[in-house]
Structures are given as C-alpha cells and as structure tokens.
C-alpha cells in the first residue's frame, strides 16, 4: 500500500489499532493518557521518517555546555551594528569594557538591548566551532577553537585582495593580492546574507534613511520607535500616521526590513560592472567602476551608513514596491548626471504581531536567514515536552504543566509542533521560513496535517503538489468512505 494511502487511512483506525502501530514504530506502548490527535501525528510522523530512512530522534540526550569548556584567555569577537565588541574569558567570568560579567548572555543583552543567548550571539553554538576544532584552527593566544565572530572579522578584511581599509573607504595597497576579487566578493555576499535581524540598533547605525525616505506623493516617512518589555522596535512611519493616528492612510515599515533591502540592492548594483558601464559615457567608465569597487568594499565595514547616505538620494515607498534613487554624479565625481532608479517589487504584510516587507515570492525582503527565537522556542519546547511525557519520566500533561509553570491547555496546543516535517523544522532553525509564518500563527492552527506535503502547503513552504497518479489512488477511497471520514474528523476535533 502507498504511504500516502496508509496515512490517509490512519484517522479511521480504532485506538487499539493505533496502539499496536505505536508499539511497532516506537518499540514501547503509548501512555494511557495520550490523546488520539497526538497519537495520529506521532504515528504518521514516524511512518514518514521510516519510509525515507530517517533515524528517529532520540529523547533525553544531555547537552554539552560549550561555555563551561572555555579556557581563560579566550577572546570572543562580535561586530554589532558597525561596532566591534571584544570579550575575554577569565577565571572569574567574562571581561568586557573593563567590567567582569558572570555570563556571556548578560553581555549580549547589554550590547543589543534585547534578550539574547550569549553562546549563540558570540558564535559558540553551531557548526563553526566544531569544524574549527576538527581542523585545528585555534585562537592566537588562548589555544581554543576560533569562534564565528573571529572568522567574520578576518573574512571582512580587504587585505587579502591587495587593499587596505581606511575609515569608510577601501584603497589600493602596496602589497600583492593573495585572493581573487570575485571570491572575496562572494564571501562578503554570504556574510551579508547571514546577518541576524535585531530589534535594537546602536547610535552609529540608527535611522539610516532619515530625511531620505518618502511615499509616492513626496510626503516624508519619519523614523520612530516603540518600546515593549524593554525591547526597542524601530520603524519608518508616515507623518500623517504620527500626527493623526491609525485612522489616517500611511506607512509603518520595520526599519530593519527597508534598510537591509536598500543596502542589498545598492551593493548588488555596485558589483555589476556591465550595468554600471551602460549608465555613463565611455570616458567616465574607468572612474565609475573603480569608485564602485571602493564603495562596495567600504559598505562591508563600519562606513556603510556614511557611504549609503552619500550614494542614495532618496527612497520612495509605493503600493507595488520600492524605488531607490542612486546618485551617479557622486559615484562618478562629476555633476549633472541623472539619478539611476532601482525598482524592487515588495509588499507590506502582517507576520504575527509584526509587519514585514515581503517579496513577490513570499520571502522576506531583507533576504538573509533570520532565526525567529519565538518560533524556535515553540518547536524545541514541543519536542522536549513530547519526549518527556511519552518516553521519559512518565509524567502526565498536568504534572508537566505544574513543573513548567504553564497551563495544560498550552502544552496540548504546542505538542503537535513536535511533528513538523524535517525540512520545515530545519528551515525554522536556520531562519529560512516564509515571512508570514510566526509562532502565533503556528500555534493557532486548528490542526496540523499528518502528511508532510500537506504541512508544507499549509505553512507556505516550497513543495510540489500531489501528482495526479497519487491523487487518483486516494480520491476513490475517500469517496467510498466519506461517512467514516466525516466521523473521524469529528473525533479529531473532540
């Protein structure tokens, strides 16, 4: 029998039949208290894992503490909004800006103004540290594996391509390049795509587009912010909304989304020699290409905001997208050249409680991976809770709720998230989920489909629709058993 057909028949099985399937798939019987809905999800999930040769995730594994293994003298480097932060591990804790802190998380929260895990912020958790240790890439003084912040700092240095950075611009050096410029440019693009989204900005980079951004009627859009639970959220808001409130028509755009979109589009233009050459007269081509290289490389460092404000004349927000006016006169160091207009199709959509700029394909306009801590927390809690009550200490939902300080209803609402398709789970962990998928939307689903393909379609992930041959085997069976199917759905809602 086809796997899809087997999964479609699961809702019609009796509890005894489901219990037998559970025992066959998990090697133990199901807890007596477990509901039918969770049984179906767990069984369908394991059937799909087995069909694809995926090993079942083992519960209860102890987590290795990376921070505990750090030796005194280890340095952690992290660039945050154009400012470099260096932390040194000591016997007493972690030294930053002349003060000793007990944990990296406290430092991370002080730097960002929001809740951060210190090991994640400084790159201690992830594949980079493991790979560095495997290859023997150690810090200069501590002898510990290099963290991701140190790697990023090194990879941003233009010295490898025979150039040096002075303030916001990059100039030709007197040494030979040891790396091809095309390789260096691709590395910078990868680093840019992995920048995390942040809710708090440093003074050096705040309000990047101030006095430059307006709507299609020429009315200014003003930078502002709001504070909730100690976390600062930055926006660009139409003056009419600021003056007259929500009844007026206007824009309220997340600052990070629009700023990142503008930077990405401008840098993409600067790295296109053929396109730049076609915009100016032949005598100006050598000047504009050399200048474009310097500016593009300079925008990879702390001078990004200064260069952007010199290069971009204005940003116009419309219903159908964003227009970015680039000053060719400044780029060519001459006068009387018309601006070049970059047009990007984007829309403003609601994502949970936030508004996000979204491209035509449904992905965030800012491009790079942005892990959503709330989404990740939902998935990890659901997996941990299911493992605990199904295979762990034998606690019931009520016992677990008392221990976790939440209601039993909340746990039951989250438990289905332990059975997301592996590619959906991986996308959430890497921050590659669709822009409209939030923790709020995920936890308020009426029900999670049993089949992974249906989950992908429901949650907006790229997935191929069911083939005609597969549907032809299921539809006749459903037509013959429509009454049973209706009763099974009724049981699931109970």
Q: What is the pLDDT of residues 355-406, one digit of tens each?
A: 566 665 555 555 544 567 788 888 888 888 888 877 766 567 888 888 888 8
What is the pLDDT, as a whole number, of residue 83? 76
The pLDDT tens digits for 271-324 are: 888 888 888 888 888 888 888 888 887 776 666 788 888 889 899 988 888 899
Share of the chain above pLDDT 90, in %: 5
Regarding predicted confidence, which is higher, 411 or 132?
A: 411
Q: Give how far Cα 307 sits from Cα of 80, 209, 270, 294, 340, Å.
A: 18, 12, 12, 10, 16
Residue 452: per-residue pLDDT? 92
Average pLDDT score, the chain = 76
- Residue 336 pLDDT > 80, yes or no? no
Query: To the nearest whole percent, how much of the chain has pLDDT over 70?
Result: 71
pLDDT at residue 236 above 50? yes
pLDDT given at position 466: 39
Residues 42-78: tens digit of each pLDDT: 999 999 988 888 876 655 443 444 444 567 777 888 8
Judged against a pLDDT cut of 50, whether residue 469 lies above it is answered with no
Which one of 66-80, 112-126, 160-174 scores highest in mean pLDDT?
A: 160-174
Q: How many other C-beta atoms are found inside a 10 Å radius of the C-beta of residue 242?
A: 14
Is the Cβ–Cβ distance between 345 and 359 less than 8 Å?
Answer: yes
Give the pLDDT score at 489: 47
Write phi, then psi, for 453 (nearest 5 degrees): -60, -40
pLDDT of amino acid 432? 77
For helices 181-193 and 148-155, the axis angle rounded to 10 degrees is 140
What DSSP letter does each residue of 221-270 carry, written as one string? EEEEEEEETTEEEEEEEEHHHHHH-TTS---EEEHHHHHHHHHHHHHHHH
**39/363: higher pLDDT:** 39
- Give the residue with greater pLDDT, 13 vs 61: 13
Neighbours of 146 (CB within 10 A): 25
Q: How confident is the model at residue 41 (pLDDT cuts 50, 70, 90)?
A: very high
Q: Rounded to two decimals, what is the model's pTM?
A: 0.48
Is residue 63 exposed (0-12), middle (13-18) or buried (19+ Cβ within 10 Å)?
exposed
C-alpha R_g of the chain? 27
pLDDT for residue 430:
77
Q: What pLDDT score does 491 carry?
A: 45
Can you give the residue ranges of every domain in the chain? 3-56+371-493, 213-359
pLDDT for 131: 59
Q: Is residue 467 scored above 60 in pLDDT?
A: no
DSSP at 90: -
* 128, 147 contact by CB (below 8 A): yes
Nearest to 170 by CA among 179, 178, 161: 161
Secondary structure (DSSP) of 270-315:
HT-HHHHHTTS-GGGHHHHHHHHHHHHHHTTTTTHHHHHHHHEEEE
More confident residue, 169 or 209: 209
Cα–Cα distance for residue pair 347/29, rounded to 1 Å: 50
pLDDT per residue as tens digits for the range 194-210: 554 443 334 344 678 88
What pLDDT is recorded for position 192?
A: 67
Is 236 within 8 Å of 251 (Cβ atoms)?
yes
Nearest to 307 by CA among 320, 297, 318: 297
């Amino acid at each position: 029998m086809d796997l899809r057909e087997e999964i479609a028949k699961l809702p019609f099985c009796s509890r005894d039949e489901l219990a037998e399937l559970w025992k066959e798939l998990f090697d133990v019987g199901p807890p007596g208290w477990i509901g039918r809905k969770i049984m179906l999800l767990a069984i369908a999930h394991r059937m799909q894992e087995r069909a694809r040769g995926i090993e079942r995730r083992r519960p209860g594994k102890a987590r290795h503490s990376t921070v505990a293994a750090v030796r005194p003298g280890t340095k952690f480097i992290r660039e945050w909004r154009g400012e470099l932060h260096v932390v040194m591990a000591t016997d007493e804790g972690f030294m930053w800006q002349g003060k000793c802190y007990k944990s990296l998380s406290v430092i991370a929260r002080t730097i960002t103004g929001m809740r951060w895990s210190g090991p994640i912020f400084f790159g201690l958790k992830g594949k980079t540290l493991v790979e560095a240790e495997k290859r023997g890439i150690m810090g200069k003084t501590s002898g510990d594996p290099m963290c991701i912040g140190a790697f990023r700092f090194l990879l941003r240095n233009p010295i490898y391509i025979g150039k040096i950075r002075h303030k916001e611009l990059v100039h030709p050096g007197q040494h030979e390049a040891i790396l091809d410029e095309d390789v260096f440019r691709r590395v910078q693009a990868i680093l840019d795509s992995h920048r995390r989204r942040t809710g708090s900005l440093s003074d050096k980079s705040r309000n990047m587009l101030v006095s430059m951004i307006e709507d299609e009627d020429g009315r200014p859009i003003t930078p502002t912010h709001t504070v909730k639970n100690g976390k600062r959220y930055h926006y660009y808001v139409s003056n009419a909304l600021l003056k007259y409130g929500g009844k007026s028509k206007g824009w309220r755009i997340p600052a990070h989304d629009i700023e990142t979109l503008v930077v990405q589009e401008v840098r993409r233009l600067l790295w296109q020699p053929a396109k730049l050459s076609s915009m100016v007269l032949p005598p100006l081509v050598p000047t504009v290409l050399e200048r474009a290289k310097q500016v593009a490389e300079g925008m990879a460092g702390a001078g990004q905001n200064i260069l952007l404000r010199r290069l971009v004349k204005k940003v116009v927000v419309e219903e159908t997208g964003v227009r970015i006016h680039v000053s060719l006169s400044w780029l060519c160091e001459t006068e009387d050249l018309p601006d070049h207009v970059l047009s990007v199709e984007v829309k403003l959509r609601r994502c949970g409680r936030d508004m996000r700029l979204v491209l035509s394909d449904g992905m965030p306009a800012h491009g790079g991976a942005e892990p959503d801590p709330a989404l990740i927390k939902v998935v990890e809690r659901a997996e941990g809770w299911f493992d605990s009550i199904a295979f762990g200490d034998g606690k019931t939902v009520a016992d677990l709720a008392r221990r976790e300080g939440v209601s039993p209803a909340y746990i039951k609402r989250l438990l289905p998230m332990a059975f997301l398709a592996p590619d959906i789970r991986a996308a959430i962990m890497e921050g590659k989920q669709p822009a409209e998928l939030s923790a709020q939307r995920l936890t308020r689903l009426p029900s999670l489909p049993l089949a992974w393909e249906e989950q992908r379609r429901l949650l907006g992930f790229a997935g191929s629709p069911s083939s005609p041959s597969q549907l032809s085997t299921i539809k006749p069976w459903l037509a013959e058993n429509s009454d049973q199917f209706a009763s099974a759905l009724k049981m699931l809602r109970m």
